[in-house]
């Protein structure tokens, strides 16, 4: 059974850097074809894809946020980390991590973690 869980701060100040960790089980990020992505959703708004890292360390970023995002993996710990710099109140959202296989969909999602950006 595949599970993913997001963790990180619930409150960050403007201009700070956000670091979120996705801890997963039930699969290995060293298996060919597997990826883990990050998606966010501001309150009452649509989903927005942020970043994706594959088993071979290939990384993809949203063009709109690429300059602010870094995604890394620690295969031994079954974790994927997303950092987002220069946080702003508009970045207030629920942040999800999700499993991908075959590079065509996010088939299993975590429960999400709410991050508020406020001074």
Partner 1 sequence: SYELTQPPSVSVSPGQTVSITCSGDKLGDKYVCWYQQKPGQSPVLVIYQDYKRPSGIPERFSGSNSGNTATLTISGTQAMDEADYYCQAWDRSTRVFGGGTKLTVL
CB of 112 to partner 1, least distance (A): 6
Least distance from partner 1 to the Cβ atom of residue 47, Å: 4
**Closer of 18 and 98 to partner 1 (Cβ):** 98
How far is the C-alpha of 75 from the C-alpha of 86, rounded, in Å? Answer: 27
Nearer to partner 1 by Cβ, of 79 and 109: the residue is 109
Task: Give the separation between CA 67 and CA 44, rounded to whole angstroms.
Answer: 26
- Rounded Cα distance, 95 and 34, in Å: 20
Retrieve residue 73's tokens: 């993996």
Based on the shown chain and the rule CB under 8 A, indicate whether residue 104 belongs to the binding site for partner 1. yes
96 φ/ψ sector (left φ>0, alpha ψ -120 to 50, else beta): beta
Strand 93-101 with 113-117, pairing: antiparallel
Q: Find the binding residues for partner 1 in span 10-69 (CB under 8 A).
A: 37, 39, 46-49, 52, 60, 62-64
Least distance in angstroms from the C-beta of 13 to partner 1? 27
Of residues 15 and 105, the one with the C-beta less far from partner 1: 105
32: which residues sit within 8 A by CB, 6+ positions away?
55, 56
Of residues 12 and 110, the one with the C-beta less far from partner 1: 110
Residues that bind partner 1 in the complex, under the rule CB under 8 A: 37, 39, 46-49, 52, 60, 62-64, 96, 103-112
């Amino acid at each position: 059974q595949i599970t993913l869980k997001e963790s990180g701060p619930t409150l960050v100040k403007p201009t700070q850097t956000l670091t979120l960790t996705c801890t997963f089980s039930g699969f290995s990020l060293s298996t060919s074809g597997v990826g883990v992505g990050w998606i966010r959703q501001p309150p009452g708004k649509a989903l927005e894809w942020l970043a994706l890292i594959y088993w071979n360390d290939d990384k993809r970023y949203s063009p709109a946020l690429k300059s602010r995002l870094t995604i890394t993996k620690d295969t031994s710990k079954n974790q994927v980390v997303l950092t987002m710099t220069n946080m702003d109140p508009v970045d207030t959202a629920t942040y999800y991590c999700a499993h991908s296989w075959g590079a065509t969909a996010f088939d299993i999602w975590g429960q999400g973690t709410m991050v508020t950006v406020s001074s």
